């Protein structure tokens, strides 16, 4: 699947873009369709399980909808017209392929060769739109007029609202009240796009509670509503489907790096919340044994209960939101509260395939705390002129610390997924760094 010369691959323009491959021989027509029929490598078993993880732990009433969704997704993946429409939206609307940028000054500072996969430059400013375009097209195909979603940092909510506006769908987004405060800008963006944002005040009023509310809505509205989950979490087929809609990140990065550097990376790094941007980056590399894969979770304030969002580092197997995976829980199996400076990583669970990759040892899962993420944020801003979202700032912070500690071999070729841009986090960072206070004290002298 990872062969860049495969006509079924979604390779970026200028990096082996395949032309002239029709659906079969003998038609006498040369089509310029980059991806005609997508096979699905490494699927879960027929019950939606990745090893002992995944599955479907949902009320009976949702089982038929999940079966319908699975069938619709499989049919769509095998349908050239669905893939052609999705590719057209990716290119002409969303701005794919996103660039692979050589991070020259960062590389020099760390003694590595670092390339950044620029999902921050995708329309709406994060990788989440890859998934939304796929799921909303599927919703249209299933004949459902309404989409609901949950959001943490607001990026999935914005991507959902965007795709709904584009395709003329009714849209409701559930968001924890705490997150509506932290990510007010994204709440306004969603409302301007015509989406109803419903704040959720239950529990810790963050992402987990928003998912609970969205699931409740879906149980009642499943006949005419699709629930567009924003990460590789939830019951089958969501972990598989979201991975496949995000796979474009890794497929492009792989082809672009082969083109630019002539070889595969030594290391691919991404941050892990629910795990969709990491799954999208890693999936096309999992069969390349020489490529080390590292997922970076939110270490928050530390390893103690309630202080982080790092289930693969500090959790145990359990069931949450319809699937079995690693989970932050107390000895009685109650889900623990979480903490991270970044709303998008503030989640007690993680996608089931990551759990399997961890147990298999194929991917190494580490963590970076709030402080390391802020260091990563400032480092990228200072060396490359890019303000990253706080989520991928965890990956940058980890890479910088690992390079300085010598746990990444000097000179390594690294691809790092810059999953989103930092505009949404500027106020959070400024207030933690005390810039607001400085500004007031100095009467705004910073602005010159």
Ligand X SMILES: Cc1ncc(COP(=O)(O)O)c(C=O)c1O
Nearer to ligand X, 113 or 419 (CB): 419
Site string for ligand X, 300-319 (x = CB under 6 A): --------------------
Q: Which of 119, 150, 178, 244 is catalytic?
A: 150
Cβ(161)–Cβ(171) below 8 Å: yes
* Location of structure tokens 């390779």: 11
Work out how close the CB of 57 gets to ligand X at its nearest, in angstroms, rounded to a whole number.
Answer: 20
126 binds ligand X (CB under 6 A): yes
Q: Which of 117, 128, 140, 358 is catalytic?
A: 128
Interface of this chain with ligand X, residues 402 to 421, rule: CB under 6 A? 419-420
Interface of this chain with ligand X, residues 139 to 178, rule: CB under 6 A? 152-153, 155-156
273 binds ligand X (CB under 6 A): yes
Q: Which residue in the set 97, 239, 274, 284 belongs to the binding site for ligand X (CB under 6 A)?
A: 274
Nearer to ligand X, 284 or 344 (CB): 344
Closest CA to 379 of 116, 99, 97, 100: 116
Work out how close the CB of 426 gets to ligand X at its nearest, in angstroms, rounded to a whole number.
Answer: 14
108 is catalytic: no
Which position's Cβ is nearest ligand X? 420
Q: Which residue in the set 277, 313, 325, 412 belongs to the binding site for ligand X (CB under 6 A)?
A: 277
134 binds ligand X (CB under 6 A): no
The neighbour count for residue 334, using CB atoms within 10 Å, is 8
Work out how close the CB of 392 gets to ligand X at its nearest, in angstroms, rounded to a whole number.
Answer: 6
Work out how close the CB of 4 gets to ligand X at its nearest, in angstroms, rounded to a whole number.
Answer: 24
179 binds ligand X (CB under 6 A): no
Work out how close the CB of 273 gets to ligand X at its nearest, in angstroms, rounded to a whole number.
Answer: 3
User: What is the C-alpha to C-alpha distance for residues 88 and 216, in angstroms, rounded to an integer?
Assistant: 34
Work out how close the CB of 233 gets to ligand X at its nearest, in angstroms, rounded to a whole number.
Answer: 8
Q: Which residue in the set 48, 54, 344, 348 belongs to the binding site for ligand X (CB under 6 A)?
A: 344
Site string for ligand X, 253-272 (x = CB under 6 A): ------------------xx
Stretch binding ligand X (CB under 6 A), from 32-40, 138-146, 255-263, 384-392: 384-392
276 is catalytic: no
Site string for ligand X, 418-437 (x = CB under 6 A): -xx-----------------
Q: Which residue in the set 178, 179, 209, 391 belongs to the binding site for ligand X (CB under 6 A)?
A: 391
Work out how close the CB of 98 gets to ligand X at its nearest, in angstroms, rounded to a whole number.
Answer: 13
Active site residues: 128, 150, 419
> What residues line the site for ligand X (CB under 6 A)?
126, 152-153, 155-156, 231, 271-278, 344-345, 389, 391-392, 419-420
């Amino acid at each position: 699947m990872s062969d860049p010369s495969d006509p079924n691959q979604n390779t970026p323009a200028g990096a082996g873009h395949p032309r002239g491959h029709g659906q079969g021989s003998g038609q006498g027509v040369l089509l310029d369709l980059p991806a005609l029929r997508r096979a699905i490598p490494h699927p879960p078993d027929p019950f939606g399980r990745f090893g002992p993880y995944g599955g479907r732990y949902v009320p009976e009433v949702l089982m038929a909808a999940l079966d319908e969704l699975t069938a619709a997704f499989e049919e769509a993946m095998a349908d050239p017209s669905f893939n052609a429409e999705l590719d057209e939206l990716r290119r002409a609307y969303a701005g794919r392929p996103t660039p692979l940028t050589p991070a020259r000054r960062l590389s020099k500072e760390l003694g590595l060769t670092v390339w950044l996969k620029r999902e921050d430059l995708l329309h709406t400013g994060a990788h989440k739109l890859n998934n939304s375009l796929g799921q909303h097209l599927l919703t249209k195909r299933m004949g459902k007029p309404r989409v609901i979603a949950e959001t943490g940092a607001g990026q999935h909510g914005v991507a959902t609202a965007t795709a709904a506006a584009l395709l003329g769908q009714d849209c409701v987004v559930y968001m924890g009240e705490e997150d509506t405060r932290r990510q007010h800008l994204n709440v306004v963006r969603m409302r301007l796009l015509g989406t109803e944002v419903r704040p959720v005040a239950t529990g810790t009023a963050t992402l987990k509670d928003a998912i609970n509310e969205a699931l409740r809505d879906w149980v009642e509205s499943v006949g005419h509503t699709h629930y567009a989950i924003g990460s590789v979490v939830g019951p089958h087929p969501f972990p598989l489907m979201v991975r496949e809609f995000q796979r474009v990140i890794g497929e492009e990065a792989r082809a672009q790096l082969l083109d630019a550097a002539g070889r595969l990376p030594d290391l691919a790094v991404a941050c892990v919340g629910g795990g969709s941007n990491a799954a999208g980056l890693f999936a096309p590399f999992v069969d390349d044994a020489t490529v080390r894969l590292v997922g970076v979770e939110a270490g928050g304030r530390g390893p103690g209960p309630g202080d982080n969002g790092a289930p693969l580092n500090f959790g145990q197997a359990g069931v949450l939101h319809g699937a079995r995976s690693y989970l932050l829980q107390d000895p009685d199996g109650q889900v623990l509260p979480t903490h991270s400076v970044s709303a998008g990583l503030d989640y007690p669970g993680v996608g089931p395939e990551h759990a399997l990759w961890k147990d298999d040892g194929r991917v190494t899962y580490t963590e970076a705390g709030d402080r390391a993420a802020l260091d990563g944020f400032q480092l990228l801003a200072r060396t490359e002129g890019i303000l990253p979202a706080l989520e991928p700032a965890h990956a940058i912070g980890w890479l910088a610390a690992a390079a300085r500690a010598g746990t990444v071999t000097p000179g390594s070729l690294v691809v790092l997924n810059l999953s989103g841009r930092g505009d949404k986090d500027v106020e959070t960072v400024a207030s933690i760094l005390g810039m607001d206070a400085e500004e007031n004290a100095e009467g705004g002298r910073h602005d010159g």
